[in-house]
Every structure is written in C-alpha cells, then in structure tokens.
Structure 1
Amino acid sequence: LLQTAKGNVLFETCKENFAAECLERIEHVIGKEGKIDYIVLNHTEPDHSGSLVHILAKYPEATVIATPAALNNVKYIGHIKEDTKTLSAPKIKTLDLGDIHLKFIIQPFLHWPDTMMTVIEELKVLVTCDVFGGHCADDRVFNDKMMDRIADMDEAYKHYFDCIFGPFKPYVLKGINLIETQMGFPVEELKAVCCSHGPVLRTNIKENIERYRQWAQPQVLKNKVVIAYGSAYGYTKHMAEKIAEGVKSVGVEVSIHDIVRSSVDAVLKDFGDAKGLLLGTPTLVADAIPPMMIIACNLNPVIHCDRYISCFGSHGWSGEGVKNLAVRIDQLK
C-alpha cells in the first residue's frame, strides 16, 4: 500500500479467503476513515485479484488500473460491478500522484496474457507481479534480513521459476529488456523489488535479475535419447536394451532408466537437455504402468513440443498399455 499526496494506492489484492484479513491490514495503515483511491492490478490470477470484489465493496470509489486483458478478466474473475471506475495502463502510461509518479511497463505472458509491472519512480521501486518471486515465506519480509535462509531461498526461487516461468522464457527475456530500457533509471539504482510472492528484494537485486536472465536462456539440447521403462517379466526390459543398442549404433548418446531402480524425477531431470525420450511399458490390467503415465503427464505441449517422444512395450494381456501411453504423447504435439 502506497500513501501519496493525491491518494492511497493498493497494489493487487489476495485470495478471496483472506479478504477479511486483507481489509483489516489496510485499515490498520490508513485508519477507519481512510480510503483507497487506486488499485493497481499487475495481474488478475485469483491469488492477485480474488479479494478485489470485497475491497471495492468497502472502497467503491477506488479506480482499478490494469491492462485491457486484465480489466476484461476481472469482470469474470473479480466479479466487479459495471460502474467500477477503471483506467487502462497502456493508455495512461503513467499516473501522477503529486509527489509520486507510477510508470506502467506492459509485458504479457509473465506469466498470463494480462501482466504488467509498475515503477514507483521517485522511490526507485519496481513492483514486479510474479517476476523474481518465490514461494518462500518469512515474517522478516525483506531478503536482506533473511540471509540466514539464503540456501533455502535460492532453491525456492529456482523451483518457482521452473514451475511458473519455464514455459515463458522468451517473455522473461523481453521483460528484463523492458526493465532495463523503460524503467527510466539503471537497475543498479533500484532500492527495492516488490514481488507478489516471497521476500521484498532490497539486496542482490541485480544478481536476482541476472539469474532470471540466465535461467531464461534457450535450452541447448544434447544429441541424446533418454529411455525409461518398467518391465513386469523382463520382455519390455529386453526391448529397451535392444532399442538402446540401435540408438547407440548411429552415434547418439543413450541414457537408460529402469523405473524400479530410478525415479520419475530422475527421468524428467535427465530429459531436460535431451532431444528424445522413449517410454516403455507392459500392459497390466488393460493399461500402462503408472510411472510411465506420470512421466508422460509431466511433459508439457509448450515446453516439449519440439522434442522426439514416443513409446514402446510388450503386448502383455491385451495390449492397451502402449496405446494409452501414445494417446498422452499425441497430446503434446
């Protein structure tokens, strides 16, 4: 919440089930007679906009500022009234609040089509929505007060990036470029980065941005095929070994996983830099074995559409194992 000469600005809201607590915290800052003049929605996913309808019920004069995509979303996600005051961020570009100016940096697909970031110019603070965040909660709020947890935070940041921004790496690079070219001052001068998830960054800001840039680089794939299989009686194993021999014979690297001795996570990690994946399954009770289906369901049509993925297996009872696994693989095209 930002208090300025021309009004109070609330950046985003929270999940609907935390609306009452959110309103209490707002009142604690601005008092019972205070009001919210603007609500900046950098993003309208329900964890950002879920409480909007309740906050507008208490502060109906507030103006919602967001991208056109976001304003369209909140009609349905946020259930806002038709007479709610709104401003399109791309149209106004900046908001003059007297002693403070807000600048809106529009970058879709970080990680929804509606996303933007907001610069608080005079304070040299960047409100980034989901970018540079992490699922890492701590009462101390600021990362410079949490250095005893730096290993935990680093792991949380990487996991968060992989899950949230892994499918949108080109847009991450575009977003970083916009920060560097449109913010109006060098990244080195940033005093804080306020993420919607995880600590507020007050130290190592440039390092965190550079880390995102590194993580978002295009994946360089090896000329490698990962073969993962499960075998009930040894027949699918025999097939996997023969396939591996054939792949090796044409000079392609092979990595083979017997799912009994390996794991789903190990297979997916190994496949991270591989061009090809082959999944082997017998048929048990008219279906593929669960670990192979889990691997297939962890693959994504955005991330893995340009890889070579197929399946094989022994006929077993009635042969549905390979057929069912192939259905999921076809969905990745």
Structure 2
Amino acid sequence: MRKIVESVYWVGVVDWDRRLFDSLIPLPDGTTYNAYLIQGSEKTALLDAVDPDFAGTLMAAIDTVSRIDYIVSHHAEQDHSGSIPMVLARHPGAKVVATAKAKAMLMDLMPIPEDAFIVAADGDTLSLGDKTLTFIHTPWVHWPETMVTYLAEDKILFSCDFFGSHIASSDLFVTDQCRVHESAKRYFAEIMMPFRNVIAKNVDKLSGYDIQTIAPSHGQIYGQPGWIMDAYREWVSASARNVVTLPFVSMHGSTRLMVDHLTAALAERGVRVELFNLAVTDIGKLAMSLVDAGSIVLGVPTVLAGPHPLAAYAAFLANALRPKAKFLSIIGSYGWGGKTVETLAGMIPNLKVEVLDPVLCKGLPKAETYASLDALADMIASKHRESGFRA
C-alpha cells in the first residue's frame, strides 16, 4: 500500500514480465494493474481490482483494511475487474458500483450476484464521509461501459484506461515524461484510436473538472496532468501531420527498390516518411505512426495472385484502427498478374481516404516505374500542402 495523498493509496501490482496483452498487443516495458483505496471518515472504497493472476498480491495489500464498503468497477475487462469476486468473498457486505452496462458485463464475465451491485448514473456522487466520489460516464474509452471517478476533495481523476500507458516501474508518479509520452501514445494507438471521435467528446466532458492528478489503471500517476490531456486532444483531433506511413514487405527486392525510391522522392519534396518493414517491425510502432499520418502507402508484392499476407494484415490493422489519414496508395511488384489492389481495397472500408493511383510493375522496376513513383510523390506532397497538414 503506497500513499498518494492523505487517506488515498495505490494498492496495485507491477507486472514486470508481461510482454503480450490480449495475446495481441506487444508490451515492451511490461505493465501495471492499478487499484486504489480511499478511506473516508465514514466509508472505504476500493477503485478497481487487479488481474486475477495477481489477486493474492492485492489481497495482501489490503489485508489490514477492516472493512471495504464499495468496490468501484470502472471497466469490466478482467485486468481491471478479475479480482472483484475475491474481494467480495473477504468483504461480503461490499457493493460493486458500476454503470448499468458494466453491471451486465461483469455478471457475464464472473460470478458476481446481481444484488451486489449499485448502478451509477452519469454524474452520480457517493459520499465516503469527508471524501466525495463523482462518477462520470466515458463510453468507448475503450469499451461501451466505461466510466471514470473524480475525487473532489483531492482533485484526483481515477481514469481507468483513459490516459493509460503500459509501463512497469517502481516509481508511482511519472518521472520520465518522454518515456511515458511514447508509451501513452502506443497505448492510445493500439486500443483507443478506433474510438477517436467519441473519445474527443469525453476529453471535452472532463474540462469542467479541476483535475490536479490523474491516476490511471495502467501506468504511472500524472502529478502534472496537463501535458497528457493536451496530447490526447492532439491525438483525437482531425488534424493530420505531413507524414506518410509506409508499411511494406519485399520478397525478392523489387518492391524494396520501389519503396526506397518513393521514400527518397517524398523526402526531397518535404514529406516525412515513416518506414516499417513488416517482416520485422513492432506492430505497436506502426500503430503509433498511424495516429499522425496524413497518408498511408502500402508496399506490397503479389503472392499467388493476391497481396502478401503481411501486407494484408497491415491493411486489416489500419482498417480496424481507423486512423485520421486522408490519402492512401499502393505500390509493389508482381510476377505474372493478380488482384492485389482490388483485394486490399476491399479490406479497408472503414478508412475515409482518397485513393491515389497505385504504382505496380512486373518484375524489377524500370525507368517508367520510377517516373510513376516520382509522380506519386508529387501528388502526395501537393495533397498534403492543400490539406494544410502540420509538420
């Protein structure tokens, strides 16, 4: 149990070893499962419970607490709620406070009886005596049932996945802003970006509260939260940057020659390129690039008349993440023919992009191929200028 302010404690877990989340998301720096204990003058509340694999650690942290009256569940996903049944077993009189949607989901996911719940409406308050909790609904950050809690007396926002980052650290508060900014951007890119438009509304919703501290459910606590709130405002905005994200794969070198030529041509025209070799890239880094990119160009060789599977996965990922990019094109080499462009085009219905003419060549690129790539670079640079993309 570690003190944040008077009567408010961190009782979470640092998971130094985890390297994959949901069997999908890379965790290069581990993570934390944060839970918080608030001991009011009359009542005690536990905010979130940790991943069930670490329930014993949580129970040891709160072992000296004689009574827990409320368990606030911001989000039903098991890394936040999985230990709630164990807490209820030790504190059978406790009530689980959650949104109506979270109540239904929690009952689906774990053995919590219906009569254990208190449903929190948007804006409801709960007094712990000298501490007052306000529950603020923040749907789709990043599930439909999520909410956050504001502790008025101490001006702390317990934000759940909102403003989170996957970092394992012994430091309770942010000490390295650059490191946390990168981790938080990766976190946003991988799980928040598909809901960018509704998250923008939730960021605005919080502007009415005097927030001096943000305590998320993953990562370190923000003692000076202004910068992370500003970062979120930028990430959710519709304004892209003068950046081309270029994921590619090359089987025998022809597509790589095209990628290298286009990269150089764009750089000469003042457009920054972020290149990702899909055979070796960290998919989280690719997702981070997509947060800002004004354009996406896929470098794709043809395999058995269709796109290389790694390129198809990149298209699937972009479609799922729904980035703010405004333009998209495809370049690549083929051996005898195929439907690479048609197949990839059918995989990105969620992208609201203008598709620029692809550049494909048979075998090695030739003079006319490089001329077409130069024309594509001209087109992208012109489109970025006309769109007013930021540097």
Given that residues 229 and 257 in structure 1 are in contact (C-alpha distance below 8 angstroms), is that contact kept between their aligned partners in structure 2?
no
* Structure 1 partner of 2:137: 106
Displacement of 1:289 in angstroms is 3.2
Query: Identity, % of aligned pairs?
Result: 29
Displacement of 1:130 in angstroms is 1.4
Output one character per residue of 1:55-82: Cα deviation in whole Å (capped at 9) or x when no partner.
1122121111111111111001232123
Residue 178 (str. 1) matches residue 205 (str. 2): yes
Q: Give the counterpart letter for 1:20 in structure 2.
A: G
Given that residues 283 and 289 in structure 1 are in contact (C-alpha distance below 8 angstroms), is that contact kept between their aligned partners in structure 2?
yes
* Structure 2 partner of 1:153: 180
CA distance in 2, matches of 1:260, 1:292: 7
In the alignment, which of 148, 158, 161 is matched to residue 117 of structure 1? 148
In the alignment, which of 308, 311, 320 is matched to residue 289 of structure 1? 308
Using a 3 Å threshold, how does the CA distance of structure 1 residues 65 and 310 change in structure 2: closer, same or farther?
A: same
What is the aligned residue count?
309
Output one character per residue of 1:78-125: Cα deviation in whole Å (capped at 9) or x when no partner.
3212332x1111177111222221111112111111111111112222
Structure 2 unaligned runs (5+)? 1-36, 353-391
What's the C-alpha RMSD, in Å, of the aligned pairs?
Answer: 4.0
In the alignment, which of 94, 119, 133 is matched to residue 164 of structure 2? 133
Residue 2 (str. 1) matches residue 21 (str. 2): no
DSSP-derived class of the 2:227 partner: helix
Displacement of 1:178 in angstroms is 1.8
CA distance in 2, matches of 1:131, 1:200: 12
Given that residues 105 and 118 in structure 1 are in contact (C-alpha distance below 8 angstroms), is that contact kept between their aligned partners in structure 2?
yes
Q: Give the counterpart letter for 1:166 in structure 2.
A: M
Residue 83 (str. 1) matches residue 104 (str. 2): no
Output one character per residue of 1:249-295: Cα deviation in whole Å (capped at 9) or x when no partner.
xx9x89797959996879874895244534432326x7643442342
Greater alpha carbon shift after TM alignment, 211-220 vs 110-119:
211-220
Q: Give the counterpart letter for 1:37 in structure 2.
A: D
Given that residues 13 and 48 in structure 1 are in contact (C-alpha distance below 8 angstroms), is that contact kept between their aligned partners in structure 2?
yes
> How do 1:143-292 residues align onto structure 2 when only pairs under 5 Å count?
143=174, 147=175, 149-181=176-208, 183=209, 186-187=210-211, 190=212, 192-202=213-223, 204-220=224-240, 228=248, 230=250, 232=252, 234=254, 269=289, 273-275=293-295, 277-283=297-303, 288-292=307-311
Structure 1 unaligned runs (5+)? none
Structure-1-length-normalised TM-score: 0.75
> How do 1:8-87 residues align onto structure 2 when only pairs under 5 Å count?
8-28=44-64, 30=65, 34-84=66-116, 86-87=117-118
* Structure 1 partner of 2:319: 300
CA distance in 2, matches of 1:83, 1:258: 51
Output one character per residue of 1:137-167: Cα deviation in whole Å (capped at 9) or x when no partner.
2223123xxx3x3332232222222223222
Using a 3 Å threshold, how does the CA distance of structure 1 residues 331 and 232 change in structure 2: closer, same or farther?
A: farther
CA distance in 2, matches of 1:138, 1:238: 42
CA distance in 2, matches of 1:92, 1:223: 40
Using a 3 Å threshold, how does the CA distance of structure 1 residues 279 and 79 change in structure 2: closer, same or farther?
A: farther
